[in-house]
Chain A
Amino acid sequence: GQNIDQPTEMTATEGAIVQINCTYQTSGFNGLFWYQQHAGEAPTFLSYNVLDGLEEKGRFSSFLSRSKGYSYLLLKELQMKDSASYLCAAQDSNYQLIWGAGTKLIIKP
């Protein structure tokens, strides 16, 4: 079956760095997405990885290892506004997105 695993909740301190991990098992693979979702709002796109390695975009970076079925999202210089859920989604051979349940990130001052 197809499956995405990510931690349910994480807590970090303002100004610090946090890494949110995601492991996936899909029928075929066509890329890994990260989305941010603030409470009561719609998900918004953060990053897309299809090749192994690290993609950096400002304070956010995303890493992919296809051989390990593993990705992480790295958030640096955490701000209170980063408090949100972070959704990992893998694209299968039919280009359908398989979504994880999301990681709720709590930022403390």
Chain B
Amino acid sequence: IAGITQAPTSQILAAGRRMTLRCTQDMRHNAMYWYRQDLGLGLRLIHYSNTAGTTGKGEVPDGYSVSRANTDDFPLTLASAVPSQTSVYFCASSLSSQVNEQFFGPGTRLTVL
């Protein structure tokens, strides 16, 4: 792995289904982030983690949960998907929460029907 990866690349999901978006980085970055990007809006922070074992809520956390069991992985779970969660999801990482040049994964395009 070089950098930060996300899976799946895209997904179509029925409303009410549970879905986990995966994110892995091999840069030994302490901080990781999940954003959603919708047309006409800026990137909006869903959840973040400043270090393994800790997580925090961003601007739009409702309907999403995260975990950070180790440094490399930061999965995002939609417990019961709704159509308003249709979006492009980006995972990002930075060396620390204060050294904030963020490196982004390629994104997951999620459609909830």
User: Which B residues fall within an 8 A CB radius of A?
Assistant: 40-45, 48, 58, 90, 97-98, 100-107
A64-93 vs B, Cβ < 8 Å mask (1 yes, 0 no): 000000000000000000000001010100
With a CB–CB cut-off of 8 A, which chain B residues contact A4?
42
Q: When the two chains form their complex, are residues B100 and A31 in contact, meaning their CB atoms are under 8 A apart?
A: yes
B97 to nearest A CB, angstroms?
5
Given contacts A95-B97, A95-B98, contact A43 B42 (CB under 8 A): no
The answer to whether A87 touches B43, judged by C-beta atoms less than 8 angstroms apart, is yes
Does A97 contact B100, Cβ atoms closer than 8 Å? Answer: yes
Contact B106 A42 (CB under 8 A): yes
Closest 4 CB pairs of A and B: A99-B42, A42-B104, A99-B43, A101-B42
Residue A33 interfacial (CB < 8 Å): yes
Count of chain A residues with a beta carbon within 8 Å of a chain B beta carbon: 20
Which chain A residues border B58 with CB–CB below 8 Å? 96
9 contacts between A and B (CB under 8 A): A41-B106, A42-B90, A42-B104, A45-B101, A45-B102, A91-B100, A96-B58, A99-B43, A101-B40
Q: Which residue of A lies closest to B98 (CB)?
A: A95
Residues of B within 8 A of A91 (CB): 100
- Which residues of A are interface residues toward B (Cβ below 8 A)? 4, 30-31, 33, 41-45, 48, 87, 89, 91, 95-97, 99-102
> With A42-B90, A42-B107 in contact, do A87 and B45 touch (Cβ < 8 Å)?
no
Contact B101 A44 (CB under 8 A): no
Chain B residues near A87 (CB-CB < 8 A)? 42-43
B92 to chain A, nearest CB (A): 8
Q: Which of A42, A87, A89, A99 neighbours the largest number of chain B CB atoms within 10 Å of its CB?
A: A42
Neighbouring B residues of A33 by C-beta, 8 Å: 100-101
| C-alpha spacing A99/B104, complex, angstroms | 14
**A residues within 8 A CB of B107?**
41-42
Tell me the smallest distance from the CB of B15 to a CB of chain A, in Å: 25
A58 to B82, CA, bound (A): 45
A95 and B40: CB pair below 8 A? no
B40 touches A96 (CB 8 A): no
